[in-house]
Amino acid sequence: MELLELLARQKHCNYISDLRFLPKTSLYFPQLRDVALAAFSEREWVEAAWYVRGKITHSAAQARACLIA
């Protein structure tokens, strides 16, 4: 499973693209605190932060922090 798929499931979205239509207050994923950075590639983390939050990050750790907070 890809990271974006996981995020969509956590928000009960039928499609990954539905993540873009969630209210801004729903774009936080505190459950990611329990997900190891190594579970997904650095590229997946960075792309997820860009896709979901529109934030440019330079590492998996930055991206996860962006998605959590």
Domain locations in the chain? 3-68
pTM score: 0.91
Q: Which helix (H) or strand (E) holds 47?
A: helix 42-48
Mean pLDDT over all residues of the chain? 95
At 3, is the secondary structure helix, strand, or coil?
helix
- Over 90: is that where the pLDDT of 19 sits? yes
pLDDT bracket for residue 63 (50, 70, 90)? very high
- The two tokens of residue 37 are 């950075």
Share of the chain above pLDDT 90, in %: 93
Residue 2 — φ and ψ, nearest 5°? Answer: -85, 160
* Contact present, 39 and 6 (Cβ < 8 Å): no
Q: Any residues with CB less than 8 A from the CB of 43 and at least 6 apart, and which?
A: none
